[in-house]
């Protein structure tokens, strides 16, 4: 019986010739990730283990990104805890104010994630790195602690779903529209504990930023991970960003999949996820007249350079609707600099938006854009659960940067064609 991409990576890291779905294995880890919310719990657990330091100071990444710069005393204490741990253990990849970015954009940019890796992170969107052909998945803080101490983790080998991507997308159709379409099709538990494996000739039309977005939201369909084949686009990205060697794994021709779907990019329309689940999708022509109070463009899902470029193209020379709040959050310091040099920051400010330092901010109801009762927000973030961005009586509509920017101009949920 053949193996999928994910199964081959796990087998190699477990020192086994082959693995099958449902098998329990212990695998070596290439990277263990934590942030300012999840790391303190892991640190307290590792202190209980009475271990002598961490397994490898170069293979742990601690990124202060959720409530940073600190929004209150508690968040400051959390960061202090992680900062002291990083210093004590000489953690190479510790990123704080001035160096940090949103973790899932920062780590690939820094070259810390490459094809063939096994990566765990105490954050559910750790599945982002599958865009580069790695196996990466979110875990709890206690698993993070065990990973930091031993360099190993237990996994149940996932079965897989194959998504055959074909066709060429129309202008303004992005990775966000692709993954929202898929989640709308299979549901938030449609890939529960399964590997979502994306293949097909249509992948050539998806940029790395598109792929990061798609892999990032695999968890929103319940997926254990999302993963793409390693093509020339991925190789070029890794060679530009990393000095680490990478390993390419390809699925066997007789690999077993639980289901197979074909996604024709040429037929996709701008897609919006209505409250209060990412599966509640409608295409832009089905939305109707929905007035909004706020727009957020950013997050680990859509705060990358191409996302800001799309938003700036639509907002250039136009104004944000009077009374609307528009918050733009570049995902890393480098993206901020690149956007500044490209003139995007001036475009956003002249349009009437504000630009924040890199942070997760409002995505998880942290700060930088909390919603009051009855308010509606169009957001490029990844979740729209009840109370996710503030009051339990607020509403979040998930969309692409193109839809978010267009909606900022009209004051209601709108497609880019309405303003261009």
Quick check: is 269 in a domain?
Answer: no
Query: pLDDT at position 412, please?
Result: 98
Query: pLDDT at position 50, please?
Result: 82
The range of the structural domain enclosing residue 287 comes to 274-414
Quick check: is 183 in a domain?
Answer: yes
Q: Are residues 16 and 67 in the same domain?
A: yes
Which of 235, 263, 291 lies at the terminal end of a domain, its last residue?
263
Quick check: is 14 in a domain?
Answer: yes
Token couple for 283? 């295409």
- Sign of the alpha-carbon dihedral angle for 26, 13, 209, 161: negative
Quick check: is 420 in a domain?
Answer: no
Q: Are residues 117 and 247 in the same domain?
A: yes
Query: pLDDT at position 229, please?
Result: 97
Q: Where are the beta strands (DSSP E) in 130-178?
A: 135-138, 152-156, 160-166
CATH number reported for the structural domain that contains residue 43 in this entry: 3.30.499.10
Query: pLDDT at position 322, please?
Result: 96
Which of 263, 282, 314 lies at the terminal end of a domain, its last residue?
263
Dist. CA 305–CA 321, nearest whole Å: 24
Query: In 221-252, which positions are buried (b, 16+ CB within 10 angstroms) versus exposed (e)?
Result: bbbbbbbbbbeebbbebbeebbeeebeebebe
State which residues of the chain have pLDDT below 50: none
Query: pLDDT at position 358, please?
Result: 96
Quick check: is 134 in a domain?
Answer: yes
- Structure pTM? 0.96
Q: Which of 80, 89, 14 is nearest to 59 (CA)?
A: 89
Token couple for 136? 């990466």
Quick check: is 181 in a domain?
Answer: yes
Q: Are residues 233 and 303 in the same domain?
A: no
Q: Are residues 302 and 168 in the same domain?
A: no
Q: Are residues 166 and 289 in the same domain?
A: no
Domain count across the chain: 2
Q: Are residues 283 and 244 in the same domain?
A: no
Q: Are residues 258 and 372 in the same domain?
A: no
44 touches 78 (CB < 8 A): no
Quick check: is 268 in a domain?
Answer: no
- Sign of the alpha-carbon dihedral angle for 365, 368, 369, 371: positive
Residue whose entry in the numeric block shows the structure tokens 């940067």? 401
Q: Are residues 157 and 58 in the same domain?
A: yes
Q: Are residues 206 and 286 in the same domain?
A: no
Which of 205, 237, 263 lies at the terminal end of a domain, its last residue?
263
Q: Are residues 314 and 385 in the same domain?
A: yes
Q: Are residues 180 and 204 in the same domain?
A: yes
Quick check: is 257 in a domain?
Answer: yes
Q: Are residues 250 and 280 in the same domain?
A: no
């Amino acid at each position: 019986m053949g193996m999928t991409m994910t199964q081959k990576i796990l087998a190699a890291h477990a020192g086994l010739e082959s693995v099958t779905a449902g098998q329990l294995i212990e695998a070596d880890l290439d990277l263990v990730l934590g942030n300012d919310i999840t790391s303190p719990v892991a640190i307290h657990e590792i202190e209980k283990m009475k271990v002598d330091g961490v397994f490898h100071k170069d293979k742990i990444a601690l990124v202060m990104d959720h409530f940073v710069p600190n929004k209150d005393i508690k968040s400051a204490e959390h960061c202090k805890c992680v900062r002291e741990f990083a210093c004590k253990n000489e953690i190479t990849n510790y990123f704080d104010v001035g160096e940090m970015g949103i973790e899932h954009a920062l780590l690939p940019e820094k070259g810390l994630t490459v094809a063939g890796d096994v990566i765990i992170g105490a954050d559910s969107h750790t599945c982002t790195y599958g865009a580069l052909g790695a196996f990466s998945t979110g875990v709890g803080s206690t698993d993070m602690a065990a990973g930091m101490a031993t360099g190993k983790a237990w996994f149940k080998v996932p079965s897989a779903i194959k998504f055959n991507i074909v066709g060429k997308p129309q202008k303004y159709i992005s990775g966000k529209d692709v993954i929202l379409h898929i989640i709308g099709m299979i549901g938030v538990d449609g890939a529960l504990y399964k590997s979502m494996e994306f293949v097909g000739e249509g992948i050539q039309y998806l940029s790395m930023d598109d792929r990061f977005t798609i892999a990032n939201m695999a968890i929103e369909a319940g997926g254990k991970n999302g993963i793409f084949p390693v093509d020339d686009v991925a190789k070029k990205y890794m060679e530009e960003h990393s000095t680490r060697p990478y390993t390419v794994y390809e699925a066997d021709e007789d690999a077993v999949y639980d289901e197979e779907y074909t996604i024709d990019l040429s037929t996709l329309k701008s897609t919006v996820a209505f409250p209060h689940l990412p599966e509640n999708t409608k295409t832009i022509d089905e939305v109707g007249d929905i007035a909004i109070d706020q727009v957020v463009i950013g997050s680990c899902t859509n705060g990358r350079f191409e996302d800001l470029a799309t938003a700036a193209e639509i907002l250039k020379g136009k104004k944000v609707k009077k009374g609307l709040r528009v918050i733009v959050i570049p995902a890393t310091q480098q993206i901020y600099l690149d956007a500044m040099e490209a003139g995007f920051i001036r475009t956003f400010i002249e349009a009437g938006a504000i630009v924040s330092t890199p942070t997760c901010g409002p995505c998880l109801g942290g700060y930088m854009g909390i919603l009051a009762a009855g308010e509606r927000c169009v957001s490029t973030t990844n979740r729209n659960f009840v109370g996710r961005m503030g009051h339990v009586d607020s509403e979040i509509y998930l969309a692409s940067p193109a839809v978010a920017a267009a909606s900022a101009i009209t004051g209601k949920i709108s497609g880019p064609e309405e303003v261009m």
